[in-house]
Chain A
């Protein structure tokens, strides 16, 4: 279906809800303005019933300066159509409540907590409005409101965070973090256990909060790209592509084909080195050091390849608004292919070894199972959803950059069949996540190898005119963790008025609280690693 047909379909349905809705089109976004925020709940129920939509994010923006109060944008997306639905409601500042939609889309709870932290607006019926990102913050200061200045000194209070108490005979609490035993990012996990078995887990994050969204508002447009790369170091390419996409969409800029190809190459290389790293981490967590080391060597090789190509081992600085900074020639392309061939030969050998090792398989199988309904309710993306058979992939549903032009070799009927059988085995346990990563890896390699020649229409185009103030756009990309969304609203003189980031990690984190239930504490590390979420990308 092309975009026109898609919108027509939605238009005609939405008419049934209310024929007076104000609808406005912006590229592949449908903006729907509600005259009364109280309509929101009904509309969400309607959306859920009529279309199989997913809540992608809730964006709040302080537009009091524009005499529009606070605007709240609920963004929905579908897993089949390339389009986004924005439901916009305005809350005038005097009453600071907005309707919660947690009973229709349970994943809204997190976004509503975030808005409460950053803007001081309260989702009225939300049963859980504990602070999410800010720790010990006074409850009358809200960092993303416009009259709060980036460098304002905030006196933190020393109120203790309240974890939900779990009581009962034989129940013990194990607090872990924020500093962990391994070399990982900070976060606090509060386990309640009976014997060895975990009966409850509450995760408290926010330790890595660096004020990225606020900081962006004070930076020149060209510098924000460095910031977007540092949302999460290992997702630098995906996040900077998403940011560039947003700006390019706003500016209606078409970037050269070659730049698209190079972006795709780097994005897939990023996916490959990270998946190797994660698989290695999973093996390390079950004590299979041999496999872990072998995979670590592959990761290192890929990082050295990154370095040779871009000057940075984790691919910082490859993108810029309007294209890329780093060139790849046809000659280097041959080199990339041969490095990958070599790495994947090794990889398949390691994989055979793992599959025939029963002690490895035993630890992975049936550990950390998640349920499909839960995955749906929480709006999981990326590997976390694919491991249970929900196909979310921004590269397919919202083809961007060079992805629509990628031609993969057609699978033979036999291969398709075999793959189907494989998929049946995905039950949402650690093993399924391992296998989904393996799939992803092979696919990335195929994508890279399908590019055999580069176009030669230049590396980038520049933004000539100043961007229209207060225009906005949603950029997206598929990182190795899943879909990452960047919504940008431009301010005056090419500044950033609001930069809302929703990484895959943010929407996925809550699933861990469910995945660990009824597992033993000793399996927590491997369950956590099999999801491999970013703390920094969550806390921003």
Chain B
């Protein structure tokens, strides 16, 4: 890149960009600060949840990722699995909602993607309940290298763009011993995108059955986690966990390559 930096806005300076990089997971500083990675609940000190703001938040979300409960204890539930990162809710309530540029959001249980804020209990993240036993067991089975079959169960192809990027020289997923293979019969992991359209339901099941045991399934993107904006309709099934068992959820719309990498490594307990 030409070094006329005084003229070029820092904002666009992409000095790292010409070569491959050491470790995509450690390139935090290259992620733009305005990148919409995931949304968390980060209440300002004097934030008070009342009916009004609860309702506003609930209605601001196009995919119904935010729900508000107001029995004796008012509560906001925020489902990262449904969020398509449109940013509406942050505009409505910047005191509670914060968009971060982080990517390490993959979770092993669907419930772990849901954050809750309640007025009575102090705010805190659910503790990580990952079973250590299971971890060791799976580690042993999968060893060091891993093969992935990607299945598009009706996505908008946003997620495919990012999965494809994993193979480019920048992210180069093969450095971790992970390769994409052409058939589910050669695969250890199915990487599934899309809200699982009804028309893909059968193909997905067949692919799952033809993958040899032991196998893992990773749901990629808001759509695969929950149906996303497409929800659960006559044409979609509202998330792939209704069809095949899911081991790791990687939310995002679409999740960036680092987020995918993080999720895949989490699936084999390397993180």
Residue ranges of A at the interface with B (Cβ–Cβ < 8 Å): 134-135, 143, 148, 150-154, 156, 178-179, 181-186, 206-212, 214-215, 219-220, 223, 226-227, 230-234, 236, 277, 293, 296-297, 299-301, 303-305, 307-308, 310-314, 316-317, 325, 329, 331-332, 334-336, 338-339, 341-342, 534-536, 539
Residue ranges of B at the interface with A (Cβ–Cβ < 8 Å): 1-2, 4, 7-9, 11-14, 17-18, 30-32, 34-36, 62, 84-87, 149-165, 167-170, 180, 182-184, 194-195, 197-200, 203, 207, 229-236, 253-254, 256
List of 3 A-B pairs having minimum Cβ-Cβ separation, nearest first? A233-B158, A335-B12, A211-B235
* Alpha-carbon separation in the docked complex, A219 to B230 (Å): 11
* Alpha-carbon separation in the docked complex, A411 to B67 (Å): 58
B200 near A230: Cβ-Cβ < 8 Å: no
- Within the complex, the shortest CB–CB distance from A454 to chain B, in Å, comes to 13
Partner of B12, one of A143, A181, A305, A535: A305
- A-B contact sample (11 more), CB < 8 A, given A186-B152, A308-B34, A332-B11: A179-B151, A185-B157, A186-B203, A210-B235, A223-B62, A296-B168, A304-B32, A308-B12, A314-B162, A535-B152, A536-B155
Query: Is the contact region of chain A dominated by helix, strand, or loop, or is it mixed?
Result: loop
Q: A185-B160, A207-B199, A297-B170 are in contact. Are A227 and B8 (CB under 8 A)?
A: no
> Which residues from B are CB-within-8-Å of A210?
154, 195, 197, 230, 233, 235-236
> Which residues from B are CB-within-8-Å of A186?
152-154, 200, 203
A293 near B168: Cβ-Cβ < 8 Å: yes
Q: A297-B168, A312-B35, A338-B4 are in contact. Are A185 and B155 (CB under 8 A)?
A: yes
> Which residues from A are CB-within-8-Å of B18?
297
- Closest residue of B by beta carbon distance from A185: B152
A300 near B165: Cβ-Cβ < 8 Å: yes
* Alpha-carbon separation in the docked complex, A211 to B86 (Å): 21
A232 near B157: Cβ-Cβ < 8 Å: yes
Partner of A234, one of B4, B152, B158, B170: B158
A335 near B235: Cβ-Cβ < 8 Å: no
Partner of A226, one of B62, B151, B199: B62
> Which residues from B are CB-within-8-Å of A223?
62
A219 near B62: Cβ-Cβ < 8 Å: yes
A338 near B2: Cβ-Cβ < 8 Å: yes
Q: A181-B182, A230-B158 are in contact. Are A304 and B233 (CB under 8 A)?
A: no
- Within the complex, the shortest CB–CB distance from A137 to chain B, in Å, comes to 9
- Within the complex, the shortest CB–CB distance from A332 to chain B, in Å, comes to 5
- Within the complex, the shortest CB–CB distance from B171 to chain A, in Å, comes to 8
Q: A308-B12, A316-B85, A342-B1 are in contact. Are A150 and B234 (CB under 8 A)?
A: yes
> Which residues from A are CB-within-8-Å of B200?
178, 186, 207-208
> Which residues from B are CB-within-8-Å of A293?
168-169
Partner of A215, one of B11, B14, B231, B256: B231
* Alpha-carbon separation in the docked complex, A303 to B165 (Å): 10
- Closest residue of A by beta carbon distance from B191: A183
B86 near A230: Cβ-Cβ < 8 Å: no
* Alpha-carbon separation in the docked complex, A160 to B184 (Å): 23
- Within the complex, the shortest CB–CB distance from B163 to chain A, in Å, comes to 5
A335 near B233: Cβ-Cβ < 8 Å: no
- Closest residue of B by beta carbon distance from A297: B169
Query: Is the contact region of chain B dominated by helix, strand, or loop, or is it mixed?
Result: loop
Q: A186-B200, A311-B32, A311-B34 are in contact. Are A339 and B233 (CB under 8 A)?
A: no
A308 near B2: Cβ-Cβ < 8 Å: no
User: Can you give 18 A-B contacts (C-beta < 8 A)?
Assistant: A134-B199, A143-B235, A153-B234, A185-B155, A185-B160, A186-B153, A186-B203, A207-B203, A210-B236, A211-B235, A211-B236, A215-B230, A215-B231, A230-B230, A232-B157, A297-B18, A316-B158, A317-B87
> Which residues from B are CB-within-8-Å of A220?
62
- Within the complex, the shortest CB–CB distance from A356 to chain B, in Å, comes to 22
A183 near B154: Cβ-Cβ < 8 Å: no
A179 near B62: Cβ-Cβ < 8 Å: no
A215 near B233: Cβ-Cβ < 8 Å: yes
> Which residues from B are CB-within-8-Å of A148?
234
Q: A179-B207, A296-B168, A536-B155 are in contact. Are A151 and B12 (CB under 8 A)?
A: no
Q: A209-B235, A342-B2 are in contact. Are A277 and B8 (CB under 8 A)?
A: no
B170 near A150: Cβ-Cβ < 8 Å: no
Partner of B156, one of A301, A308, A536: A536
- Within the complex, the shortest CB–CB distance from B217 to chain A, in Å, comes to 14
B157 near A307: Cβ-Cβ < 8 Å: no
- Within the complex, the shortest CB–CB distance from A407 to chain B, in Å, comes to 23
Q: A230-B229, A307-B32 are in contact. Are A209 and B154 (CB under 8 A)?
A: yes
A300 near B168: Cβ-Cβ < 8 Å: yes
> Which residues from B are CB-within-8-Å of A335?
8-9, 11-13
* Alpha-carbon separation in the docked complex, A151 to B163 (Å): 31
B160 near A183: Cβ-Cβ < 8 Å: yes
> Which residues from B are CB-within-8-Å of A212?
230
* Alpha-carbon separation in the docked complex, A185 to B164 (Å): 12
* Alpha-carbon separation in the docked complex, A305 to B30 (Å): 11
Q: A143-B234, A207-B197, A226-B229 are in contact. Are A184 and B160 (CB under 8 A)?
A: yes
B162 near A313: Cβ-Cβ < 8 Å: yes
A334 near B1: Cβ-Cβ < 8 Å: no
- Within the complex, the shortest CB–CB distance from A523 to chain B, in Å, comes to 18
B165 near A183: Cβ-Cβ < 8 Å: no
B159 near A233: Cβ-Cβ < 8 Å: yes
A151 near B230: Cβ-Cβ < 8 Å: no
B256 near A339: Cβ-Cβ < 8 Å: no
- Within the complex, the shortest CB–CB distance from B19 to chain A, in Å, comes to 9
A305 near B14: Cβ-Cβ < 8 Å: yes
- Closest residue of A by beta carbon distance from B91: A325
* Alpha-carbon separation in the docked complex, A277 to B155 (Å): 18
* Alpha-carbon separation in the docked complex, A14 to B231 (Å): 46
A307 near B233: Cβ-Cβ < 8 Å: no
Q: A183-B180, A233-B254, A297-B169 are in contact. Are A208 and B199 (CB under 8 A)?
A: yes
* Alpha-carbon separation in the docked complex, A75 to B168 (Å): 42
B199 near A206: Cβ-Cβ < 8 Å: yes
Q: A181-B182, A186-B153, A536-B155 are in contact. Are A300 and B170 (CB under 8 A)?
A: yes
A233 near B154: Cβ-Cβ < 8 Å: no
B199 near A135: Cβ-Cβ < 8 Å: yes
> Which residues from B are CB-within-8-Å of A300?
17, 165, 168, 170
* Alpha-carbon separation in the docked complex, A312 to B253 (Å): 9
- Closest residue of A by beta carbon distance from B19: A297
* Alpha-carbon separation in the docked complex, A305 to B155 (Å): 24
